[in-house]
A and B are shown apart, each in its own frame.
Chain A
């Protein structure tokens, strides 16, 4: 079966750095995605990792360790607009469907 774990909620202050962790146990692995979802809106793609290491994209970075079944999303210089749910998703076979975690609700306060 598939199991993806993320913290339910996190809080942080504007301007700070926050790390959102994701652990997964899946029958196969063909990439890990991070999506951002604002309340009432569709998920939007943030990052993709398929090899071990860090991928940096502006204020957002994502890390993957396949041997540990672990990823994190790092958000720097937090802004109020970063308040959203962050979804970790694993593509576990072929090149098709995603299995999502429940999401981590991040609240950024002034």
Chain B
């Protein structure tokens, strides 16, 4: 357990529905990241927050994806009008911004779109 938690752990939804995932980072970490990982691939960067500011978004991120970190603590990732291609593991990570600034990953939310 790295101290990063994600909820839910699993989500099954029908195509066209909206889904929202939550990430609670390590409490003293000001940086938070969202990644997507499919089978046999490494994590793919989606977006990054420093405190409540969203500083970077992947060019691959569809307009159907939106993320927030309203108070600089937990974050939510919403996917609107889900498609089967959205099926993946969604990983959240946090880091302190000091030292190595290594990222600590949560257990992920596995999304299946039927």
Contact = CB atoms under 8 A, between A and B. Distances in A.
B45 A42 contact: no
Interface stretch (B13-21, B68-76, B104-112): B104-112
Nearest to B46: A97
Interface residues of B, number: 26
Contacts, number: 56
Nearest to A8: B40
A87 B93 CA distance: 15
A99 B97 CA distance: 17
Interface residues of A, number: 22
Interface of A: 4, 31, 33, 35, 41-45, 48, 87, 89, 91, 95-103
Given A43-B43, A45-B104, 6 more contacts: A33-B100, A48-B102, A98-B45, A102-B41, A103-B40, A103-B42
